[in-house]
Structure 1
């Protein structure tokens, strides 16, 4: 990948979108990109529609969705809300060679890697636009967090990019975001914002942050559909330990390509909820069985489910994702201890 030198003026960026279709057996895997400068100012395309792996819903699909009205579970599907797993505890003690994760809820994790404390898609708000209030509290009280060394954002949907939560952070917090999303942060006076395209990387204090593709989209207002990119993150510490945070994604070909380029992923944080009705959501949200398949295709040694049990975003019963992911994991013949199906507030240490 061609690298650009650091400059005080914006530089054009080459479209590094879809890699060539290659055989995973006979074709070489492209080398990892050299880390780009932190806080680099860049010029991006006006739209990323060409990165979509499925067309966005048209008028016919919108009409069907409005007619069927299956946007929330019924009374029986909500009956298990009191049983949703919630077990907050203190953050584990770590050193610079320890990797630990704590699930704050939804796609928000406290990742301790390489001596850094990294937040993923931090949403500490009780409500987000367009959905009922969260059905489980935040698993990590804000005041118990150590100093936040970095934040990674997968995309700009409200359940992943929460302005009230981000206002709590010092404006010099390093933030790693998809291409085209930097202006949103700079308008809010964040001054250490690094935007990356797919397959690009940056480095902070010896920890490598690689931005990788996802099967999703972006939109935050009526006029900004796909104006910024979407994706997941690979965090690699100086010892080579790797955590894959998938963000929000449907199932598809990117998982095997990510696994080829980043072998030896120790833990995959993968979404398992917000999948019903399937005809409406399959292109952008994995169901539990697809998440297990994705974990295998990226070559992850362990999987921690997320994106369920926090906000009611779709029609499946609230506990169904957990039941189905456990069954799918067992059917795949995978070791039970490698499924980290932790409660909100739970922690695990590699």
Structure 2
């Protein structure tokens, strides 16, 4: 038995010992865990994979096809990528507002808190060309950051130079196993959560939910930390789902069933070509729209495109395809929040619609 197979079998055993298989959700929402604290985790989360990771044959095929980046014709529209930075909207503690910084980075204002998702303000990340649109919000324009949520440890979602700019008393909410990365950098309030677990901060509930993805940051840590998305719910029940990085699959229906009434789903639509390589871990635009339906989300805001060139599709294709897919559903056009980088939207009270920031 290979080491990977041994780790997978051990992880399955641990899951059986907890009385719940990794693909099953608890019967009721978990009570929130207090922020911070130290926990013990398995050495591997490979049992949480919903598809096998690519092997050497796949990597060799990718190299032969030279399919890592868009071709010249796919880059022709790079100057047309939507970039419209503006001031952050004014909010109160009963207002839900979002601002797209670029890629998977959002400024989420909810329940009186300012929450950053997967903050990446760096111009360049490891192994990827420099960003093609600047960060949509200047770091100096941010209000006090009340919390950070991280989906997983890939470099385009966990950016050390950006996080180093935060005060070390900033509460950070992370997947299981990733807390040590932050405590080594002297963050003092780090909360690690397993799938379907929750914490609470300032009256806002933060639930960590599954995703069809994986984790890796070095040559020796494949799936040693967990991955997932976040559901943020304020005291009035306003709810936003941040998917992080994910392929399409069964988790969306299960998340929607456990967290009904999602007002806004922040869903990835880019980094999907070639499909034979990326379909298990990245949604394409049509799948993202289908995911919004599975979730029962009232609105969808696309992300994970137009910032870093991570794959081979033309740079503007994700936007045109998601608009077409949304139109085909017959849902109101105003419920697709296809923001430019730097754009904001404010969610009015339920039944009152929404307005731009």
Q: After TM superposition, where is structure 1 displaced by more than 3 Å over at least 4 residues in a row?
A: 13-17
State how 1:37-52 maps to structure 2 within 5 Å: 37-52=34-49
State how 1:47-66 maps to structure 2 within 5 Å: 47-66=44-63
Which residue of 2 is the match for residue 314 of structure 1?
A: 311
Q: Do the aligned partners of residues 222 and 15 (structure 1) sit closer, same or farther apart at CA in structure 2, a change above 3 Å counting?
A: farther
Provide the rounded CA distance (Å) in 2 between the counterparts of 1:218 and 1:69.
Answer: 24
State how 1:220-299 maps to structure 2 within 5 Å: 220-299=217-296
Which residue of 1 is the match for residue 173 of structure 2?
A: 176
Provide the rounded CA distance (Å) in 2 between the counterparts of 1:188 and 1:135.
Answer: 29
Q: Do the aligned partners of residues 71 and 15 (structure 1) sit closer, same or farther apart at CA in structure 2, a change above 3 Å counting?
A: farther
How many angstroms does 1:19 deviate by?
4.1
How many angstroms does 1:17 deviate by?
5.3
Query: Is 1:348 aligned with 2:348?
Result: no
Provide the rounded CA distance (Å) in 2 between the counterparts of 1:251 and 1:182.
Answer: 27
Provide the rounded CA distance (Å) in 2 between the counterparts of 1:101 and 1:294.
Answer: 20
Which residue of 2 is the match for residue 18 of structure 1?
A: 22
Whether the 8 Å CA contact 1:118–1:150 is kept in 2: the answer is yes
Q: Do the aligned partners of residues 187 and 289 (structure 1) sit closer, same or farther apart at CA in structure 2, a change above 3 Å counting?
A: same
Query: Is 1:139 aligned with 2:136?
Result: yes
Of 172, 177, 190, the match for 2:187: 190
Give the paired residue count.
331
State how 1:64-79 maps to structure 2 within 5 Å: 64-79=61-76
Query: TM-score, length-normalised on structure 2?
Result: 0.91
- Higher helix proportion, which one? 2
SS of the aligned residue for 1:37 comes to coil
SS of the aligned residue for 2:148 comes to strand
How many angstroms does 1:221 deviate by?
0.2
Stretches of structure 1 that go unaligned for 5 or more consecutive residues are 1-12, 22-28
Stretches of structure 2 that go unaligned for 5 or more consecutive residues are 1-16, 348-357
State how 1:321-340 maps to structure 2 within 5 Å: 321-340=318-337
Which residue of 1 is the match for residue 151 of structure 2?
A: 154
State how 1:93-112 maps to structure 2 within 5 Å: 93-112=90-109
SS of the aligned residue for 1:123 comes to coil
How many angstroms does 1:16 deviate by?
5.4
Whether the 8 Å CA contact 2:22–2:47 is kept in 1: the answer is no
Whether the 8 Å CA contact 1:30–1:261 is kept in 2: the answer is no
Provide the rounded CA distance (Å) in 1 between the counterparts of 2:79 and 2:249.
Answer: 34
SS of the aligned residue for 2:313 comes to coil
How many angstroms does 1:30 deviate by?
2.0
Query: TM-score, length-normalised on structure 1?
Result: 0.93
Provide the rounded CA distance (Å) in 2 between the counterparts of 1:151 and 1:16.
Answer: 29
Provide the rounded CA distance (Å) in 2 between the counterparts of 1:200 and 1:14.
Answer: 14
Provide the rounded CA distance (Å) in 2 between the counterparts of 1:136 and 1:336.
Answer: 25
Which residue of 1 is the match for residue 77 of structure 2?
A: 80
SS of the aligned residue for 2:206 comes to strand
